[in-house]
Amino acid sequence: MRLFLTLTLLCLAPLFSKLTAECHCTPESHCGCLFGYPCTCDNENNSPNFVQPAGCYCTPEDNCGCLNGEPCTCVAEGCFYDFYDDSEYYDYYCDDECDRYVTPSFYPEDESCYWPCYRTGGWMPERCPLFRPFIADPRQLAYSVGWRFNDQALTKDVIDVSYFDSFPFYGWCNAWLCGDKLQIDLDGCLWAVFDPITYSSPLINADYYVGIHVNYAYQHWSTRLRIFHISSHVGDEFLLNHPHFDRRNPSAEYLDYAVSYQWDEGIRLYGLLGWVLEQDHSFCTGRFYAEGGIEARIVSLGKLDTYNKLYTVPFLATHFRYRKDFKLHLDSTYALGIEIGKTNCLCQRLRLYIEYHDGYSVEGQWSCTPTNYLSLRASYGF
C-alpha cells in the first residue's frame, strides 16, 4: 500500500508542480522581472498580476516604477507611480520618512493612479539632504583629504583635510505643495592644511565652521537659506617657525541663499548670493559675495551593481566665486573624477578626483592671496 501511494505521488508530481510553481520570465514576456527570476503572471498573456512577489526584479525595458534590479510592485493595466527613475539613481533614489505617509492606490473604474498627499513631519528625519553640497567647491562640507601641488599662497606642497557632520532637526513632508519637502539642519565642519615637507608636518591653518540652514526641495528645484560662522586659526608650530608673521583674525558671520536646478539626469546648475553680516576688524573683506557652477555626471558611462546596490559614474564639475577683493582674475575650481555610491540611503558618496584651482586661496587670512594649484583628492559625503 505504501509503495502504491509513493508511486502515485511521483506520477502526479509534475502535474502538481505545473499548477503551483511560479512562472519564470522569458525574453518575450513582460512580467517586469529579470530574465530567469520567478514572478507572478496571469494565465492568458503572461502579464503581471497586481502585486509581484519580492523575488521579481525590474529590467531597463519595463515600467515597474523602481530601480533596475530592485524589487517592485506592478499593476496589470500598466498604471504605476514612478517611484525612482533608474537613469537618475545617483541623485534621486532614496527612501525617506515621507514615504511612510503616502501609499499608491489603484482604481479599476477609471484605470488611473492616485497618490494621496498628507502634510506631516517628524523630528530628526533620516533621508538624503534636500540641498547637496557643491562638488567642486573648495569649501564643500565633506570628509576629505588631498595633496596640493605648487600652491602659490601657502607652500608648494600642502595636505588639506576636512571633517564634517550634519544634524537634521525637523523635516516636513508636503509643506506647501504635494511632493515638496522642507527641513532644518545644523552642520559643523573643520578644514585644515598642513605642510608635509617640513619636519613634524606643522599645521598651517584651521578653519572651524558651524551653520544652521533651511532647505526646501520640489521636483528638480532645491534651495538653501543658511546662516553660519567661520573662525580661522593659524597653527602654533607655524607661528613658532615664522616669528614675524603678521597674524590677523579673519572670523566672520555670513548669510547666503543658494538655488540648485537638476537640468536632466546628469546636469546640475546652481548659484549663490551671500552677505558678510559681521567680521573682525583686523581682517576686513568685501561684504557681498557670489558663487555658481555646473556639475555634469556622464550617466552613459556609469556602471550599476544591483547585487551590491552600488553605482559608479564619472563627473566633471566647475565652481566660480566672486568677491570684491578678487581684482586680478576670475576665481575658478575644476574637478574631474569618479563618484561611487549606494543606491539607497543615506545617499553618501565616495569621490576620487583631480582638482585644479585658479584664483584665490580659501585658507583664513590667506583668502585674499592669489594662487593656483593642482590637487589629488578623495572625499566622502553627500
User: Closest Cα to residue 381, out of 193, 139, 177?
Assistant: 139
Contact (CB, 8 A) for 334 and 177: no
CATH assignment, 122-381: 2.40.230.10
pLDDT-derived band at 174, boundaries 50, 70, 90:
confident
Please compute the mean of the pLDDT values over residues 178-186 and round it to a whole number. Answer: 91
pTM of the model: 0.71
pLDDT of residue 3: 52
Measured torsion, CA atoms of residues 245, 246, 252, 258, in degrees rounded to the nearest 10: -60
Q: Is the pLDDT of residue 146 over 60?
A: yes
How many C-beta neighbours within 10 Å does residue 289 have?
Answer: 19
Q: Is 138 exposed, middle or buried (0-12, 13-18, 19+ CB in 10 A)?
A: buried
| Domain ranges, ordered by start, for the chain | 122-381
pLDDT, tens digit, 9 for 90 and up, residues 333-367: 999 999 998 876 557 899 999 999 999 999 988 98
- Scan for cell 562638488, then name that residue: 135
